[in-house]
Structure formats: C-alpha cells, structure tokens
Chain A
Amino acid sequence: MMRNDPIKHVFIWPAVLVVLAISIFPLIYSLTTSFLSYRLIPPIPPRVVWFGNYVTLLQEPRFWNAILTTTLIAFIAVSLQYVIGFSVALALNARVPGERLFRVALLLPMLLAPVAVALVARMIFNPTMGPLNQFLSMFGLANLPFLTNGHWALGCIIAVEIWQWTPFVVLMMLAGLQTLPEDVYEAAELENASAWQQFWGITFPMMLPISAAVVFIRLIESYKIMDTVFVMTGGGPGVDTETLTLFAYQEGFKKFNLGYTSALSFLFLIAITIIGVTYLALLRPHLEKRR
C-alpha cells in the first residue's frame, strides 16, 4: 500500500538535494570544461576548442595503455574472484567443519583500507627481504622482480585485488546459496545425479541472477581502482601499471591541465557506461530465460 502524504517530501528531499548537488555540479562543470583548452600551470586563459581535447586523448597511446591496464586488472581479478569466491561459498554452504570460524576471517579483508593493504603487499612482495621471496627461494626462485617488472607488477596488483575482494563474492554467494530450495536437490538425489551434475544442472543456473549482480558490482568497482596501484607501484615501472583514474590524477593534479583531464574523465564515464550496458545486454537473455 502506498500512502500519499505531503510529508513525503520532507523525507526524500534532503537526500535528493545532497546527491543532486554533489553529482550535477561536477557533471556540468567538467562537461563544459572538457570543451576548453584550460590550464592552471602555466596559467593561460580558457579557450574553446570543442572536441580538441577528446581528439588529442584518443590519439594518445598513454590513454589506450591506461584503458588496457584497467581492463586487464578488472577482468582478470573479477573472474578469479568469482571462481574462488563461488568455490569457497559452496564449501562453506556444505557445512565444512569450522565454518563459523571462517566467517570473521572472511569478512575482514574487504573492510580494510586499500592503501594499508597495498603497503602490506609491498612488504610481502619485497624482492629481497619479503616473506614471499623467502618462500619462493625454497623452490630456487629467488629475488623475482615483483614490482619492478611491468608484467609481474600487474600480476601482483591483481593478486592484491583478489585477496581483498574475494570475501565480498563469498559473502554474497553464500547468502544466495542459502535461499535455494532444498526439494530440487532431493529430487536430483533420487535420480542419482552426481554432485558435479547437481552443480551445473541446478546450483549454477539458479545462482545466475545473483552471480550477474555480484560480477557487475565488482567489475564497476574494479574499474575505479586507484589507491592500491598508487601505493604499490605508483603506475610504474614507467606507465606499465597506470590505470585510468591514476592517469587522470597525474594529468589533473600534477599538471593542472583542466580541460584535458575533464575530457579524460568523461571518456572514462562513457567507457564505464558502455561496459555496463553491454554487460547487461549480454546477460539479459540468460536471466530472463530462468524466470
């Protein structure tokens, strides 16, 4: 039942006003600035260049490199998070001994500050004094260039992302698993379906809507990655691990190239929207079939 009472405006307006103000101001501001050639250092008066900034950006290899890096991190990290997270959730749901003990441990990583996690990761990935190096030395792999080689550094960042955000997937999937109806499994049991068949025939399809939502949330969040990279490699070596947000930060906050940075953040917004819409469009047929 929906009520209609003028007081509803008192309830909703504070939140709407704050979000509107903080989202529409910057949107208009950076949209208009993105069509200007506008720098603070050295100070030159703004000049309208229309799509000039966008054209420059699209021809800039560093921009494409940032897009590629961010996409790699997001897709690899999220797929591994999903696989590991789903497996752990399945195991916990099957009443593995000691399940309750794992709960707190599983909740922890995602509540910790990414910058602090990245600092710890730097120590662990230290090529001479770190514990990981000591561990790998036992297998004859001493002093690997964890953070000084582009590919290794990317791998390390992905590893940290997986470490920190798999718990989120576990939590969501576990909650989803616990809502599945039991009678379907009982029927499958009577048909002598193996655990493997039960998973692909029942569990996976029924978990598809939740899976889609979890992966979507993680994907969008991963595209914003900045703090982990900022602390672990600073985008280096060179620009090998520079993500979109970090690139925008360098251009905007270090060089104060305002028009350019605004155009960059708009391209970022467009890219995220395209990814989100494509993802939903690809998934929609699968989701609707199940309903």
Chain B
Amino acid sequence: MSGQGLTGLSTWSRRLIAAGVLAWCLITAFPLYWVVVTAFKTPPGVVGGPTYIPFVDFTPTLQPFIDLYQGIRGEFFHTFLNSTIVGLSAAAIATAIGAMAAYALVRFEFKVRFGAGLIFFLLALGGYLLFNNNLGFTRAQALLLAFPIALVVAIVANRLPLPGPILGNEDILFWFVSQRMFPPIVTAFALYLLYSEIGRLGFQLIDSFVGLTLCYVAFSLPIVVWLMRDFFEAIPIEVEEAAMVDNVPSWRIFLGIVVPMSMNGLLATFMITLAFVWNEFLFALFLTNSKWQTLPILVAGQNSQRGDEWWAISAAALVAIVPMMIMAGLLSRMMRSGLLLGAIK
C-alpha cells in the first residue's frame, strides 16, 4: 500500500494526472446523470433538444414511472419480480454449491484419470447416437439415458489402473474455469432445443423458473468456484486442524468454522453472481418468452417499440440499473483492494 510510481513527479504533473482521472470520471458519470434526468422529463423536455438541469431546463415529472408501474409499456412490475426471484435464487444456489466445491478443492485431494474423462465423453456421445439413431428414442430421451450410463461407467473406470495422466485438483479447477471461455451462444442455442424437446416429454423447462435458474447456476459456478477458492485458501488451516483433533466431522467444520470465517467472501461472491444473473441477456432471450421474462429482455424491447420516447426508455433503463447501483455502493464498501486479486493469479 504505497504511492509509488509517480514519486518523481512535480506538483504540476500531479495536477495534470488528477485532471485526467477527473476527466475519466466525468465521462463515466455523464451517461448515468443523463439517464437519471431524462427519466423525469416530459415529452416536450425531450424533443426540444438536449436539456440537462431539472427545474431550470425542464420541469421534472414522475409520469414515466407511473406509466411503468401501470404496465402501459409491458409488465414491468411482474418482470422486475421475475428478475429478482431468479437472480436471488440462482445466486444463492450457485454460491452455496460453488463454495462447497471450492472448499473440497482446497482441502481434499482428488484424482481423476484422464482415461475416465475420455470414457465419459465417448460413452455419452456414442450412447446418445446409439439410442437416438438405432433404438428409436427421441433426442432428449437419448441424451438423458446416455448421460447417467456414461457417468456411472466413468466413475467405475476411474478406480481401474487406466493408462494416461492422472488429473489433480488444479486440473479440476481449470476445467471449472474453462467453462467460462465457452461462447454462451453454443450452450444457449443447444439448451433451447434440448429444453423444448424435454418439454415435449411433458416437463416444461422453456419459460420456467427451474429451466432458467438451472442454466444460470451452471453458468455462475465457474466464477464462484474461482473466487471462493482464494478465500478458503486464505483461511489458516490450524483452526480446522484443531477441530479435527477433536473428531469434529468435516461438514461441521465447514458449516461451523469455515463458512462464518469467510462470510465477507461469500457475500461478495453472492453479489457478483447476482449482478451477472441480473444483467444476463442471451440466455433469457432464448429460454424465456413471456411468463418468466427478465428485465434485460423487456428493457431491450423498449427500443424497437418506442422510437423516441426517451422518458419511457430512460425510466425502463433506470429500473434495471438502480438495484445494481445500490449494490455497487455496498460492494465498494466491503471491497478490500485484494478481493479480486488472488482470483486472477
């Protein structure tokens, strides 16, 4: 924690640098200021050219928000609830099972044979093709059958002395994180087709709470595991060792000692995940159509429906933005500067 790097500079150049940072902050702040004031404008306040200062340039009104609440421009209230429900549950589930996996990767030793992984992939692929093409199952049924078979065989195969490298905890972590590299369009499109086929088997996943949440949990897990691993690694192991001497079972060590000690990290991870789910657009676009539509979809739709009704567009954007603004305030308060650093190493 020191102010190096610029120590050799004169006061004059320090002022110049301060001015540069200030300029960047103004650039950052202006669009936010603009959307806030525009949301309170009346139609004449918009079409008459840009206006900036409420009460001086234009008379502010609450009408855009009243319109929003009354659902004149789409079911905003309902959609807001959807976003909240899906966001909170996906973030909570992802943080919970992600933290568990991260803890396991820090404290327990895992060995996965590369051969077993290969067997899993080949069996899943081959089984799917076999069931679908030769045995007359539908595509969804074939996948659902092939997956557990491949999984069970792979787990058994992992105990056999297969040739090839043995993968450890670092490799499992890498596998988790590498899921993040996947272009989501690959998953989104295939998931849409798969969900609709499962829907034909009688289990509705498209435009449903379960389908959307499941997909968000899966896509948040890599970040959660990545972030939480660093928090857990920072916890001194002596406390846990002391508990182990007393024969406290592992799950009680985790719940009773580790979780309370890393509460800050869990909370930060939860909020980051929540922000990710709240803002997510692509999956919601594919996987919902009306009942479980989330805010980004509705907000994006405002654009084409209402060309220049800026007051309405701004109010809509503001509804999507404000919860995250509040969260940014909370997050920055608990953001010790080292929070994200460990994660990128």
Interchain CA distance A109-B180 in the complex, whole Å: 21
A91 and B20 contact, Cβ closer than 8 Å, known pairs A15-B97, A124-B31:
yes
Stretch in contact with the other chain, from B61-69, B74-82, B159-167, B214-222? B214-222
| Interface assignment of B9: CB less than 8 Å from any CB of chain A | yes
> Which of A57-65, A71-79, A97-105, A150-158 lies at the interface?
A97-105
Q: A133 to chain B: which residues have CB within 8 Å?
A: 50
Are A227 and B281 in contact (CB-based, < 8 A)?
A: yes
B183–A96 contact, CB under 8 A? no
Shortest Cβ gap from A30 to chain B (Å):
4
A220 / chain B contacts, CB cutoff of 8 Å: 180-181
Interchain CA distance A8-B35 in the complex, whole Å: 49
Given A10, A174, A245, A261, which contacts B337 in the complex, CB threshold below 8 Å?
Answer: A174
Chain B 41-70 per-residue mask, 1 if CB under 8 angstroms from chain A, else 0: 000001101101000000000000000000
Partner of B185, one of A31, A121, A245: A245
In this complex, how many residues of chain A approach chain B with their Cβ under 8 Å: the count is: 117
Q: Which residues of chain B are near A7, meaning CB under 8 Å?
A: 249-251
Q: Flag A251-290 by CB within 8 Å of B: 1 or 0 each.
A: 0110000100110011011001100100000000000000
Query: Chain B contacts of A108 at CB under 8 A?
Result: 28, 32, 324-325, 328
Cβ of B339 and Cβ of A175 under 8 Å apart? yes
Task: Judge if A111 is at the interface, Cβ distance under 8 Å.
Answer: yes
Interface string of B303-345 (1 = CB under 8 A from A): 1000010100110111011001101110110010111110011
Contact A210 B215, beta carbon cutoff 8 Å: no
Q: Give the distance in Å from the alpha carbon of A97 to the alpha carbon of B21 in the complex.
A: 10
State how many angstroms separate the Cβ of A266 from the closest Cβ of chain B.
Answer: 7
**A210 contacts across to B, CB distance below 8 A:** 341, 344
B193 at the A/B interface (Cβ < 8 Å)?
yes
Q: Does A148 interact with chain B (Cβ within 8 Å)?
A: no
| Complexed CA–CA distance, A151 and B221 (Å) | 38
Nearest neighbor of A133 in chain B, beta-carbon distance: B50
* Cβ-neighbour of B101 out of A14, A23, A96, A163 (below 8 A): A14
Asked if B299 and A115 make an inter-chain contact with CB atoms under 8 angstroms apart, the answer reads: yes
Task: Tell yes or no: B8 within 8 A of A by CB.
Answer: yes
Contacts of A139 in B (CB 8 A): none
Chain A residues closer than 8 Å to B303, beta-carbon distance: 119, 122, 231
Chain B residue nearest to A38 (CB atoms) is B193
A12, A18, A94, A245: which contacts B214 (Cβ < 8 A)? A18
| B103 contacts the other chain (CB 8 A) | yes
Which B247-264 residues have C-beta < 8 A from chain A? 249-251, 254
Contact B24 A84 (CB under 8 A): yes
The number of chain B residues with a CB under 8 A from chain A is: 120
Give the distance in Å from the alpha carbon of A185 to the alpha carbon of B8 in the complex: 10
B296 interface hit (Cβ, 8 Å): yes
- B344 adjacent to A25 (CB under 8 Å): no
Q: Closest approach, in angstroms, between the C-beta of B276 and any C-beta of chain A?
A: 9
Contact of A227 (CB < 8 Å), options: B7, B180, B217, B282:
B282
Q: Which of B3, B18, B108 contacts A5 (CB 8 A)?
A: B108
- Residues of chain A lying within 8 A (CB to CB) of residue B181: 220, 272-273, 276
Chain B 276-305 residues near chain A, CB threshold 8 A: 278-279, 281-282, 285-286, 295-296, 299-300, 302-303
Let me know if B5 and A203 touch, CB within 8 A.
yes
Q: Chain A residues near B251: list those with CB within 8 A.
A: 7, 10
- The residue on B at minimum CB distance from A265 is B186
**Is the pair A129, B47 in contact by a Cβ cutoff of 8 Å?**
yes
CB of B321, distance to nearest CB on chain A (Å):
5
Query: Does residue A53 face the partner (Cβ distance < 8 Å to B)?
Result: no
The closest CB in chain B to the CB of A108 belongs to B328
Contact A94 B308 (CB under 8 A): no
User: B219–A22 contact, CB under 8 A?
Assistant: yes
Q: How far is the CA of A192 from the CA of B52 in the complex (A)?
A: 49
Q: Is the pair B282, A131 in contact by a Cβ cutoff of 8 Å?
A: no
Which residues in chain A, 94-142, are within 8 Å of chain B measured between CB atoms?
94-98, 102-109, 111-124, 129-131, 133-134
Question: What 1/0 mask marks residues of chain B from 1 to 15 whose CB sits below 8 Å from any chain A CB?
Answer: 111111111000010
17 A-B pairs with CB atoms under 8 Å apart are A5-B108, A7-B250, A24-B121, A24-B124, A26-B189, A94-B17, A106-B25, A109-B28, A111-B331, A115-B281, A119-B300, A120-B317, A193-B8, A210-B341, A248-B185, A265-B183, A272-B181
Chain A residues within CB distance 8 Å of chain B: 1-5, 7-8, 10-12, 14-16, 18-33, 84, 87-88, 90-98, 102-109, 111-124, 129-131, 133-134, 163, 166-167, 171-172, 174-180, 182, 185, 189, 193-195, 198-199, 203, 209-210, 213-214, 217, 220, 223-224, 226-227, 230-231, 244-245, 248-249, 252-253, 258, 261-262, 265-266, 268-269, 272-273, 276
